[in-house]
Amino acid sequence: MCGIVGYIGYEQAAPFLIDGLEKLQYRGYDSAGVCVNDGEKLVVKKENGKLTVLKNMTDNGNNIAGTVGIGHTRWATHGKPSNENAHPHLSRSCSFAVVHNGIIENYMELKQELSAKGITFRSMTDTEVVVQLMENCYNGDMIDTVIRVMKMLKGSYALGIMFKDNPDEIIAVRKGSPLIIGIGEKENYLASDVPAILEKTRKIYRLDNDEIAVIRRDGVTVYDTNKNVRNKPVEIIEWNIDAAKKDGYEHFMMKEMMEQPKAVHDTIAERIKDGRVILDEIHLTPEQIRKFEKIHVIACGSAYHVGVVAKYVLENVLRKPVEADIASEFKYRDPIIDEKTLTIVISQSGETADTKEAMKEAQKRGSYAVAIVNVVGSAIASEADDVIYTLAGPEIAVATTKAYSAQLAVIYLLAIYFGDILGKISETDYQSYVSELQALPEKIQSILQTKEEIKNIASKLFACKDTFFIGRNIDYALSLEGSLKLKEISYIHSEAYAAGELKHGTISLIENRTLVIALATYGRLFEKIVSNIKEVQTRGAYVLGIGCEDHPELKEIAQSAILIPKTCDMMLPSLAVVPMQLFAYYVALFKGCEIDTPRNLAKSVTVE
């Protein structure tokens, strides 16, 4: 998703804006720009390409004078990456400037109406429609004008707005896309995410949907669309700015992989007391839990892959039907869901648009929604009936690692907690599950210590053109994430298949030196996956096996193999995912790919 920053104070704005944009690069972008009010006019500097182009052009912002400004990193949706399509956008008289995250769904209709009035457009973006509307609708009162424009727009958006004739304020608007306001001393800030402003302040307001903020040097006033003043609670950011730095690692992804033991430990530690799983933060009663007849797990991307693991785990432990749904499909398939359905929604950012809309659809049909998110105060967290936070800390790399592992940990907590209430877990199994869950951080750490071995394997295989991940049962669920990790950061074509489906078509794609990564951790089906390994080897495949240490023979069966510590079946994904993450990382490293910011991808997808 694009990045927004803003500053108003007594210091020069542009250097801060560029520094803030640099801290938001992880969100994905293809162009960058800033707008500063120099006291007489709105000065815009924007360039296609990496932020370094803009930094060099403006001497890190030092050659742009002015103490009020907004900046933006754009990820192209409407209009190809170009200088003309980069943000900020100016109105026809250059009186208004706008930066925008999100999508204006009715922009073509609005553009045609404005064009009929003789207004010409410089770009192909939906955003320029907003700034031209601002000027066209301006009636002398900025708040009235903003509200009028909001009522004309359809879609989701976060806006930063400047008006040449109001040099002492920035207007911020949120509908669907996240936006925060940082509170300083005689200066205030605007951003789409915390890292952009954390070096300046830990005090923030999180704007809610349909809120408008007027940001001045000496304070912030927030309005609703009826022009009523809203009293916003101040949130204190607890995590340190160092959490958003690489700390000597070459990439954030490696840093975050190495942080997984801590992320899992922090997520479970305060929720296990005296050997029992305690989920005080949810309001679900035992009576409600017993009444649920089925469970839907809704998510996108890697979070959806957690959902597929959850299907196997929750069905096995609870003996209730569980469906894993891709959020973007859920809302539009007229799902069979009611008050006897529990909906679990998973999102790292808590702002994922498809997941949020799917959750609303489930709630509308009477379902109780429990959210698993990493960001306190995010939209999904605020709108769910209950929320369980993954305590993974900030995740900067686009490809998730520690957030995925923390989400898995919450699924295990829910399985144990619900299973106990439903009487589906014996006391012996309960204690075993809790013990294995508490042991996960140490076992993950032991796998991370083998990274040089995995790096060596990757050095021999990084030139592969096509890769197939195969597995059975929970190994198949995990193979989806392994495949995604490889293709999203290395750009190698990769697919995940249930191993039993090979003979139903996929095996025709196997040829000499095709890489097949076979997950063989699920002990009860070990012999069957070995048969699948033999099938692909017969057709020329090179097999990298991932199995448990209680099956050392995998090293003799596959051309290469990685063995992980043994744990209970449902927690195997938390261990087996680590070598797949490391393998994907090192393959991308050997290929020279941009690991933290892979092409065309954004960290948070806040539009449908």
Residues marked active site are found at 2, 603
CA 11 to chain centre: 33
User: Do residues 194 and 180 touch, judged by C-beta distance below 8 A?
Assistant: yes
Q: b vs e for 147-162, b when ≥16 Cβ sit within 10 Å of the residue's Cβ? A: bbbbeebebbbbbbbb
Q: Look at strands 180-183 and 188-191 and give their pairing.
A: antiparallel
Structure tokens at 453: 């071995």
Range 279-282 contact pairs with CB under 8 angstroms and sequence separation of 24 or more: 279/388, 279/413, 279/414, 279/417, 281/386, 281/387, 281/388, 281/389, 282/370, 282/386, 282/387, 282/388
Phi, psi (rounded to 5 degrees) for 517: -100, 110
Largest Cα–Cα distance of the chain, in whole Å? Answer: 78
Q: b vs e for 322-334, b when ≥16 Cβ sit within 10 Å of the residue's Cβ? A: bbbbbbbebbeee
User: Do residues 158 and 179 touch, judged by C-beta distance below 8 A?
Assistant: yes
Integer Cα distance of 323 and 317 in angstroms: 14
Integer Cα distance of 15 and 17 in angstroms: 5
CA 547 to chain centre: 29
- Asked whether the CA dihedral 195, 197, 202, 207 is positive or negative, the reply is negative
In the sheet that holds 493-498, the strands lie side by side as 493-498, 466-471, 515-520, 542-548, 560-564
Q: 3-state class of 292 per DSSP?
A: coil
Amino acid letter at 470? I
User: Do residues 368 and 385 touch, judged by C-beta distance below 8 A?
Assistant: yes
Strands (E), 280-333: 294-299, 322-326
Find tokens 């109780």 and name the residue: 368
Q: How far is CA 244 from CA 23, 83, 241, 413, 592, in A?
A: 8, 29, 5, 28, 23
Short-list 421, 150, 432, CA closest to 292:
421
CA 550 to chain centre: 35
Q: 3-state class of 117 per DSSP?
A: coil
Name the β-bridge partners of 98: 89, 161
CA 317 to chain centre: 28
Integer Cα distance of 4 and 71 in angstroms: 6
